Amino acid sequence: MKYQIPNSNFLGKPFDQKQTYTIVGAGISGLLLGYQLKKVKVPFKIVEQNDFGGGILQSVQTDLGLIEKAANGFIWCKEIQSICDDLKLEILSPKSTSKARYMVKNKKLRRIPLSFFDAIRLIRTFTKKQSGIFETLEDFGHYFLGEKLTAQVLEPAFQGIYGAPADQLSFPGAITPLANAFNEVNYLRPAFKKMRSTSTVSERKKKSEGTHGFKNGMGEFTQRLSEYLYNDIEWNIDGLTLKDEKENLILTTPAYISKHFFKTKDEKMFQQLDLVKYNSMISATLFFQKSALKKFKEGFGCLIPQKEGLNILGVLFNSCIFDFRVKNDDLVSLTCLLRDDSLNKKWFVQNDTFLKSMIISDLSELFEVREAPLDMIVTKWENGIPLYSPNLYQSWFSMDELLKNQYSNRNLFGNYTGEISVRALAQSSHAIIMK
Residue 18 lies in a domain: no
Average pLDDT over the chain, rounded to whole? 83
Mean pLDDT of 173-178: 70
Domain boundary at 177, 206, 235, which?
Answer: 206
**pLDDT for position 208:** 52
**pLDDT for position 177:** 64
Beta bridge partners of 315: 302, 336
**pLDDT for position 192:** 29
CA dihedral 272, 276, 277, 283 (to 10 degrees): -160
Residue 7 lies in a domain: no
Domain boundary at 348, 366, 386, which?
Answer: 386
Let me know whether 100 and 62 are in one domain.
yes
Residue 127 lies in a domain: yes
Cα–Cα distance for residue pair 41/37, rounded to 1 Å: 6
Pick 121 or 429 by higher pLDDT.
429
Let me know whether 286 and 369 are in one domain.
yes
- Over the stretch 207-260, which tens digit does the pLDDT of each residue have? 556 799 999 999 999 999 999 999 999 999 988 787 666 788 999 999 999 998
Check whether 29 has a pLDDT greater than 70: yes
Confidence of residue 152 (pLDDT cuts 50, 70, 90): confident
Domain boundary at 174, 206, 238, which?
Answer: 206
Confidence of residue 435 (pLDDT cuts 50, 70, 90): low
**pLDDT for position 197:** 41
Q: What is the span of the domain harbouring residue 168?
A: 116-206
Let me know whether 101 and 121 are in one domain.
no
Let me know whether 286 and 354 are in one domain.
yes
Tell me which of 231-240, 270-279, 308-317, 344-353 is least confident.
344-353
345 contacts 332 by C-beta, under 8 angstroms: no
CA dist list (Å): 328 to 96, 99, 288, 289, 299: 18, 21, 11, 10, 18
Let me know whether 334 and 377 are in one domain.
yes
In three-state secondary structure terms, 357 is helix
79 contacts 221 by C-beta, under 8 angstroms: no
Let me know whether 193 and 284 are in one domain.
no
What amino acid is encoded at 296 in this protein?
F
Cα–Cα distance for residue pair 171/366, rounded to 1 Å: 31
Confidence of residue 265 (pLDDT cuts 50, 70, 90): low
79-98 per-residue burial string, b: 16 or more CB within 10 A, e: under 16:
bbbebbeeeebebbbbbeeb
R_g (Cα) of the chain, nearest Å:
21
Residue 251 lies in a domain: no
Cα–Cα distance for residue pair 158/226, rounded to 1 Å: 31
CA dihedral 286, 292, 294, 295 (to 10 degrees): 10
Tell me which of 68-72, 163-167, 364-368 is least confident.
163-167
What are residue 59's phi and psi, to 5 degrees?
-125, 145
Cα–Cα distance for residue pair 315/381, rounded to 1 Å: 17
Report for 52-56, 279-283, 339-343, 384-388: range of highest mean pLDDT: 52-56
What amino acid is encoded at 210 in this protein?
G
Mean pLDDT of 365-377: 96
Check whether 130 has a pLDDT greater than 50: yes
Domains in the chain, number? 2
Let me know whether 179 and 142 are in one domain.
yes
Mean pLDDT of 401-414: 85
Cα–Cα distance for residue pair 59/52, rounded to 1 Å: 13
Residue 331 lies in a domain: yes
Mean pLDDT of 310-332: 95
Let me know whether 151 and 91 are in one domain.
no
- Kindly give the interhelix angle for 171-182 and 137-144, rounded to the nearest 10 degrees: 80
9: left (phi over 0), alpha (psi -120 to 50) or beta: left
Cα–Cα distance for residue pair 313/336, rounded to 1 Å: 7
- List own/partner pairs for 376-379 with CB under 8 A and 24 or more apart: 376/284, 376/285, 376/286, 376/287, 377/60, 377/62, 377/67, 377/284, 377/285, 378/282, 378/283, 378/284, 378/352, 379/67, 379/69, 379/70, 379/282, 379/283, 379/284, 379/285
Cα–Cα distance for residue pair 415/4, rounded to 1 Å: 17
Confidence of residue 200 (pLDDT cuts 50, 70, 90): very low
**pLDDT for position 149:** 73
330 contacts 133 by C-beta, under 8 angstroms: no
393 contacts 175 by C-beta, under 8 angstroms: no
Check whether 317 has a pLDDT greater than 50: yes
Let me know whether 321 and 359 are in one domain.
yes
Confidence of residue 404 (pLDDT cuts 50, 70, 90): confident
Check whether 124 has a pLDDT greater than 70: no
Mean pLDDT of 300-312: 91
CA dist list (Å): 181 to 30, 94, 107, 426: 20, 20, 33, 11
177 contacts 420 by C-beta, under 8 angstroms: yes
With CA atoms as reference, report the closest residue to 329 among 318, 319, 315: 319
Cα 37 off chain centre by = 22
**pLDDT for position 1:** 42
Query: Which sign does the torsion angle of CA 305, 306, 309, 313 carry?
Result: positive
Check whether 286 has a pLDDT greater than 60: yes
**pLDDT for position 193:** 35
| Residue 239: DSSP 8-state | G
> What CATH number has the domain bearing residue 306?
3.90.660.20
For strands 74-75 and 44-47, give the pairing.
Answer: unpaired
Let me know whether 129 and 91 are in one domain.
no
Residue 325 lies in a domain: yes
Let me know whether 134 and 190 are in one domain.
yes
Let me know whether 201 and 282 are in one domain.
no
Residue 237 lies in a domain: no
Confidence of residue 364 (pLDDT cuts 50, 70, 90): very high
What are residue 375's phi and psi, to 5 degrees?
-160, 155
**pLDDT for position 165:** 76
Tell me which of 92-101, 143-152, 190-199 is least confident.
190-199
Check whether 187 has a pLDDT greater than 50: no
What are residue 27's phi and psi, to 5 degrees?
-75, -170
Residue 405 lies in a domain: no
With CA atoms as reference, report the closest residue to 411 among 388, 432, 431, 385: 432
